[in-house]
Structure 1
Amino acid sequence: MSAEPHPTLPPVRLHSDAELARDALVAPLFARAVRLARWAGDDTRVDIGGELVAAQLPEAAAVLGLDVADADSAVHASRAWRVAVDTGLVDVTEPEEDAGEGAEGADGGGEESGTALPGEDLALVTSGAPGDVLDLWLAALDSVLADAAVPDLDDLVDALDAGGEIDFDQLDWNPRREEDFLDGVLANLYLLTVSAGGAADRPVPLPVLAASMVVPDDMGEPTDAVLQQVSDAMMRLDDQFRQLEPIGLVEFRPVDEELMADADDEPAASGAAAGRDDADEDVSRYGMVRLTPLGLYGVRARMLEAGVEAPAVGELADKGADVLLDAVCAYPESAAEAEIEAWLAGREVPAAVAELLDAARGDDEGAPLRRLRCQQALAPAGPEAEPAVRAVLDDPELGGLARVWLAERGAADVPAPDGAMVFWLTVDTIAAQLAADGETEELPLLMETLTAHHTGFFEQVWRVEHPATAYVLEAMGRLHPDKKTAKEARKAAFKARSRRP
């Protein structure tokens, strides 16, 4: 996967290594590769490149339980053998290209053949740790992805010149370009998955995925030429995902061939290709794909190798509270809650709460959201957290948070906050909400409630010693539903700006 600049992705929720390893072992293509590796022996013969000689493909197909009479059985056996070789499950000794003409190979021809035996890595399938199995599967994935980027046989035959050589200009095939295209498709599929909550449970229509690779972001109505490119990309992806499904990367519903062959369906096909919802046809007939849990793991592993930041829920469990709060500020709320829960698990509550509160301090731009995430982290804590929370009651930055936490639990002897703390907490809360969710529909209602319950609100709040005071007041000036109050907010924002150096 090519390393190009990417923003930090939302965190993904991965299954455990043990669960993923089990998924890898039952992936049809990987399981076939293992069976062929166990079958390999002294009588196994290979040709240049480590491929099984043609005469042994029927036997290999029979070992896999395939119907030898089926013309595709040799293709399936050859593909599984190639994965076994590429992953090191099989060790091959290729024939020398200049072997003597008189030597007769195992296929009955006049060329010398090489040999193949089970590789050392085959033992890892049964005796290795889950991580060892996953490393083998990742190698198998690389092999399958490389094959998927190669044009299909019909295109190769059409590109043969008079001398039987492939005319690459006619084929218009650039290996690096094809690999980058497929990497980009998988990256987009990964992003669509993790943006929907990090679980591989929602299939993506193939037209939408193809359009994400072809249609420019700033294009309104796609042109006919762009629609044709999307349609071509759909058919290309249809073939590629058929190849990727057996390795366990995706679950795939192919394009309905009858639908695509019917000329009367061309308008619906164009609508689906553009990703429009107004197409009358069921978009699923144009193909649906989703990453499996194993696929999420595999694509993320390739992204990490390419230098892309692709966090996973739970990987901050051994980090400090400062690292945790900084990271979860960029996470969707559900992922932030899961990451915090994983961080708290196994820690002594009093010490963990004290560490979180200490990390929540600060007057930098990100501090309000850190305090909000800290408050969320403290929400499930029980009575054992109370001493650490009470310890910050007099802290100017954390005292309001501590009072809210104690009051919600009906704690006794909670000192009432003074006016300065109330207004400071108000500014901090709105700043955190703006940082977390932006200008949501709920925020104006919150602002209206706050101003309604505090007489002379703006006369007080512009004096608050908080770095975000002017920023919050400017937001209130834009968002407050009452025009007169919004005007007061803008005046207060100007005063707050004027008093800062």
Structure 2
Amino acid sequence: MSSYDDYTLPLQPPVRLPGEATLAAAVRAAPLAAELKPEGDDAAVLAAWTQHCRERLAADEGLLLELIRMYLSREPLKDAAPETLTGLGLVRQEEPYTLSWLGLWAARMVIAETTGQDIPVMGSFADADAATLLHALRSYPRAERAEELEGWLKGRERAAAAFEIASVIGEVSPLSRAVGVELLGSSLGDEGRLALSGLIGEPRLGAVIAARVGREDRRPAPEELAWVLVDMAAALLEFGGETGEVIESVAMGMDAEEQAGTIAILAFGDHPWTARVLRVFIDHHPDERVSAAARKALRRLHGLADLRA
């Protein structure tokens, strides 16, 4: 299958899907089921239908894009749906022509295969480790995040759960880290806040946490500042934020000369997202002085990486 577009798809919110048995029943009831004859248990039926969907959509890019468009917009078609989509049971056969449960399931699969984004399914992370949970929660609205967290906490001691999250937030992606800090600071009570406080003294990570929770007593050391700035900007970039938001998170109201000076230090922070953040300034900053500083910082970053290697 070809890619949906040439840009990173912003993180999509979680989707609610019924269980395997309900989805398999929808496959067996689809108009094309008589022709394609899905057989076996529920898992086998869904696996076979997955392959049928891949083949039919790969043969017609227009159908592929229509399915993705319907998923992203969640709006019904104005006219009758293409016969292939209704035949596969992906779109309702009568008005409103919206995606069925099976259509949501198939569109999620297609988006994962064409963009690399694995859209989370609500309620499917109760047994996940903390890093997997934080990765999934990156795109959750507040209410759904609380619901998913509640499911994850069942059967876990709150203090142990807080410790598990705290033990991984230094290793996860910037946006996952931001989610973890928020959960520990506001969703896990005293146990969460205690676990978070235990990290404040950590180099770099502690400075990021302090910046996010507004701890004035823990200012970043000079050698930590670049790491903090990149981590904050990278979280926005990871979410799919506008480039202007990413730039402003570093600029913080400074004039162009001050921004150029700040950008120059980013190369020394050794943050894994530094190059991506600098690319935003190179490609999108309106002031040539700042974009030039970003280009120079990127060259320095590559040079330092060669020295470390």
* Matching residue of 2:26: 138
Report deviation, 1:313: 1.8
- 8 Å CA contact 1:379–1:405 kept in 2: the answer is no
Distance 1:455 1:394, change over 3 A: farther
Q: Give the distance between the partners of 1:429 and 1:138, measured in 2 at CA.
A: 44
Cα root mean square deviation, aligned: 4.6
Q: Give yes or no for the alignment of 1:446 onto 2:254.
A: no
List aligned pairs for 1:383-422, cutoff 5 A: 383-407=190-214, 414-422=217-225
Give the TM-score normalised by the residue count of structure 1. 0.44
Distance 1:361 1:6, change over 3 A: same
Q: Give the distance between the partners of 2:281 and 2:108, measured in 1 at CA.
A: 41
Instruction: Report the structure number with the largest CA radius of gyration.
Output: 1
Distance 1:148 1:451, change over 3 A: farther
* Matching residue of 2:15: 13
Match of 1:468 among 273, 288, 291: 273
Distance 1:475 1:302, change over 3 A: closer
Distance 1:310 1:376, change over 3 A: same
**Unpaired segments of 5 or more residues in structure 2?**
37-50
* Matching residue of 1:204: 77
SS in 1 for 2:94: strand
Q: Give yes or no for the alignment of 1:478 onto 2:299.
A: no
Q: Give the distance between the partners of 1:477 and 1:136, measured in 2 at CA.
A: 49
* Matching residue of 1:369: 175
Q: Give the distance between the partners of 1:135 and 1:487, measured in 2 at CA.
A: 54
Give the TM-score normalised by the residue count of structure 2. 0.65
Q: Give the distance between the partners of 1:302 and 1:427, measured in 2 at CA.
A: 33
Q: Give the distance between the partners of 1:135 and 1:406, measured in 2 at CA.
A: 43
* Matching residue of 1:195: 72
Report deviation, 1:427: 1.4
Q: Which has the higher strand share?
A: 1
- 8 Å CA contact 1:11–1:310 kept in 2: the answer is yes
Q: Give the distance between the partners of 1:178 and 1:388, measured in 2 at CA.
A: 46
* Matching residue of 1:289: 97
Q: Give yes or no for the alignment of 1:252 onto 2:94.
A: yes
Q: Give the distance between the partners of 1:314 and 1:392, measured in 2 at CA.
A: 29
- 8 Å CA contact 1:427–1:469 kept in 2: the answer is yes
Report deviation, 1:495: 2.1
- 8 Å CA contact 1:138–1:298 kept in 2: the answer is no
Distance 1:499 1:302, change over 3 A: closer
**Unpaired segments of 5 or more residues in structure 1?**
18-130, 150-175, 211-235, 254-287
Distance 1:310 1:497, change over 3 A: closer
SS in 2 for 1:500: helix
Match of 2:234 among 425, 431, 440: 431
* Matching residue of 2:301: 496
- 8 Å CA contact 1:393–1:403 kept in 2: the answer is yes
Report deviation, 1:373: 3.4
Q: Which has the higher helix share?
A: 2
List aligned pairs for 1:3-82, cutoff 5 A: 13-14=15-16
